[in-house]
Structure 1
Amino acid sequence: MLKRLTPREQFEQLVANFEPLIRKAFEDAIEDIKSRAEIGRIVERLERRDIDGTMKALHLDPAAFRPLDTAISNTFNGGGVATTGRLPPLREPGGGQVIIRFDTRNVRAEDWLRDHSGQLITNIVDDQRIAIRTAMVSGLERGLNPRSTALDIVGRINRVSGVREGGIIGLTAQQERFAASYLEDLLSGDPARMRSTLDRARRDKRFDRSVMKAINEGRSVDAELAGRMVGRYRDRLLQLRGETIARTETMAALNESQMEAMRQAVDGGVDPTTIVKVWHSAHDNRVRDSHREMHGQEVGLNGKFISPSGAMLAYPGDPSAPANEIINCRCWMETKIDFLAGLE
């Protein structure tokens, strides 16, 4: 006999199914942008110091992230179907059966998906433009070769895989600042600054010996080697970016779809006052202290969970909450109906 999954196991299974799809959709979008960038035109525009023209040659627009939009929509639908699917049979006061099927085409559902995905993609694109524009201006001010600057942006082709690696595209503006400061420290010739690069968690440790050798010889890291090191560093920051987006967006889509499934149950006749939401912590040492304290907190369907920080969240990963309450959150929400309370 097959074991019936607990609510937590069901949620974890949904996360395991959909999180990789969202991560891959983001990665595919970035790879597509890099592969379609017009290198020759970018170089030509940089030679003219035409920043706006260079940005156009990158073809960085929201349409490139449609796969991400689709992945989030599929996750939302999967979460909603799972929520309605685990509801026990419902009966009207007269004894008739109440059928509740999750409808992604519901106006509320469509509005949330359109607004949420649209805002996410807009934020990603805008942040990209800031990071890339900053790198272009810096390259021009430092008198770097335009082609070198162009390749720093889109990445250099790996001769083995044929894929561009190490570019700025895909990173947040803050991540690119980290990468830029990493390069500056490697080229500084200052032993203290160079040694500090060995503390960067996302560095490629295979280069550590080269850094120590340069320090011991009283020189900076060779410029070409430093470029390769920063390229690997950017790749790992991009991987982190994809993982963060995947985790955060999976949680938001699955939990919002739970909410929408319950709203649709209310549309079908369930008394909204019988619906309860329960916050569950992930129960490990990676959980935020504030979220650990929220474990077991119960509120009604339209109620808000209250964090010790004062933040109010409709569910774990609520996009309306401060970033420090939702980024990489792994808590989950359980929705329950008190069937003994009856139907409207």
Structure 2
Amino acid sequence: MLFARASSLTRYALDASLAKRKSDDHIRVEQLVAKMERSVRQAFLTFVQNVRSQTVMREVAELLGRNDIDSALKIVDRYVVRMAPVVSNVFIAAANDETKALAEQVNRISPAVGISFDPTYQRAADLMADAQLNFIRDFTATQREAVRVALTQALIDGEGPIATAKAFRDAIGLTARQLAAIQNYRNLLAQGSSEALDRDIRDRRFDRTVQRAVNTGEPLSASQVDAMVDRYRDRYLMSRAETIARTETGKVVSQARDEAFKQVAAEAGITSDMVERTWRATRDSRTRDSHAAMNGQKVEGTEEAFISGAGNRLMRPHDPAAPASEVINCRCVQTLKIKRRTP
């Protein structure tokens, strides 16, 4: 928080010549997001590694052997809870980074002012708690659905306890939709279908073997199919890790930066009419068209919404009120400019 109120900021805005260039601010936020994404991605992969460990899977296999599926799922839930604190860590790191960036501007106007982010402030604490609880709720629901799909498929296949436990293990970290795609890929390989060569995330090192099986009509061996499917599953797992890291990090960083600004603005007397916000999209082929069209879009004040190329209103990137189609895998950021106040 501000240790000494910069009353002069109620009369003067931060001079644009003293602030960092927008491009520099955009780069700063992108670097922050990239760093936090690595943290979330590692937390997810650690979760998968821990749940798939021999110790945990022995316990799961024992429970499944007694047909106690709910208790087996609760084991996974415990590890989701252990992963969740990464959300609060990202929030605090992002808020501190944003506060530091604002401090460089504020201290040029009033060097006596000391600025820091207060994570214990009630609104900030509530935001972090909600973000962490929402992460636990959503991830747990998705993981439980995937595990139940895997167990159902094992039952349909008439698998025994060991194979059922393996199906449970292989579902960890994935979604039900991804599991269905993996099962479909296995079926294509077993059938010797050329459609298996159309799957984008397949390991192309196997293509020659698959093509030979298609051409000769000689089926792939069970071990060959297993190896190809395992690699396919691993790639889906990494894709899942990237999606979670990008979506969750972007959402939490956006909330944290917004909260950091509100804390500084409240103490420094920065009012809505002094703020100009700009939408910055990552300009590459992966950016959705509706966001590419928004790049450079400016809005005045803190309450005006951006308008996406799809016609949706967004208060900022990863707006929690926005449709999922505007949020998932979004890499956009918002930059802020404090304008001169009219005397």
TM-score range, shorter chain: 0.7 to 0.9
Structure 1 runs not aligned, ≥5 long: 155-166
CA contact (8 A) 1:26 1:68 kept: no
| Number of residue equivalences | 321
CA contact (8 A) 1:304 1:313 kept: yes
CA contact (8 A) 2:189 2:225 kept: yes
Cα distance between partner residues in 2 of 1:117 and 1:8: 26
Give, in angstroms, the shift of residue 85 of structure 1.
3.0
Give, in angstroms, the shift of residue 130 of structure 1.
0.6
CA contact (8 A) 2:106 2:113 kept: no
65-74 or 272-281: bigger deviation: 65-74
- Aligned amino acid, residue 186 of structure 2: L
Choose between structure 1 and 2 for higher RCO, CA contacts under 8 A separated by at least 6 residues: 2
Corresponding residue of 1:333: 334
Distance 1:42 1:251, change over 3 A: closer
Corresponding residue of 1:69: 87
- Aligned amino acid, residue 293 of structure 1: A
> Do structure 1's residue 23 and structure 2's residue 29 form an aligned pair?
no
Cα distance between partner residues in 2 of 1:209 and 1:278: 50
Corresponding residue of 1:178: 181
RMSD of aligned C-alpha atoms? 2.6
Corresponding residue of 2:323: 322
The equivalent position to 1:130 in structure 2, one of 117, 128, 145, is: 145
- Aligned amino acid, residue 335 of structure 1: L
Corresponding residue of 1:296: 296
CA contact (8 A) 2:95 2:259 kept: no
Distance 1:170 1:341, change over 3 A: farther
CA contact (8 A) 1:72 1:249 kept: no
> Do structure 1's residue 7 and structure 2's residue 25 form an aligned pair?
yes
Give, in angstroms, the shift of residue 118 of structure 1.
1.4
Distance 1:260 1:112, change over 3 A: same
Give, in angstroms, the shift of residue 61 of structure 1.
4.9
Structure 2 runs not aligned, ≥5 long: 1-20
Distance 1:267 1:36, change over 3 A: farther
Alignment deviations for residues 58-92 of structure 1 (CA, whole Å, 9 cap, x no partner): 5655323234334433443344334433433376x
Give, in angstroms, the shift of residue 127 of structure 1.
0.6
Cα distance between partner residues in 2 of 1:5 and 1:291: 18
Cα distance between partner residues in 1 of 2:102 and 2:241: 30
Cα distance between partner residues in 2 of 1:293 and 1:187: 44
233-242 or 213-222: bigger deviation: 213-222
Give, in angstroms, the shift of residue 149 of structure 1.
2.7
CA contact (8 A) 2:178 2:236 kept: yes
Cα distance between partner residues in 1 of 2:138 and 2:292: 30
Alignment deviations for residues 301-343 of structure 1 (CA, whole Å, 9 cap, x no partner): 132211132322221122332222122222221111113347x
Give, in angstroms, the shift of residue 107 of structure 1.
1.5
Give, in angstroms, the shift of residue 126 of structure 1.
1.0
Aligned pairs (5 A) from 1:168-207: 168-189=171-192, 194-207=193-206
Corresponding residue of 1:160: none
CA contact (8 A) 1:198 1:208 kept: yes
Give, in angstroms, the shift of residue 185 of structure 1.
1.5
Cα distance between partner residues in 2 of 1:105 and 1:143: 53
- Aligned amino acid, residue 267 of structure 1: A
Corresponding residue of 2:13: none
The 3-state SS of whatever aligns with 2:27 is helix
Alignment deviations for residues 192-223 of structure 1 (CA, whole Å, 9 cap, x no partner): xx211112121111221221222223143322
Give, in angstroms, the shift of residue 125 of structure 1.
1.3
- Aligned amino acid, residue 31 of structure 1: Q
CA contact (8 A) 1:153 1:169 kept: yes
Give me the identity figure in percent.
35
Distance 1:231 1:10, change over 3 A: same
Corresponding residue of 2:310: 309
102-111 or 75-84: bigger deviation: 75-84
Distance 1:30 1:320, change over 3 A: farther
The 3-state SS of whatever aligns with 2:331 is coil
- Aligned amino acid, residue 304 of structure 1: A
Distance 1:236 1:318, change over 3 A: same
CA contact (8 A) 2:90 2:253 kept: no
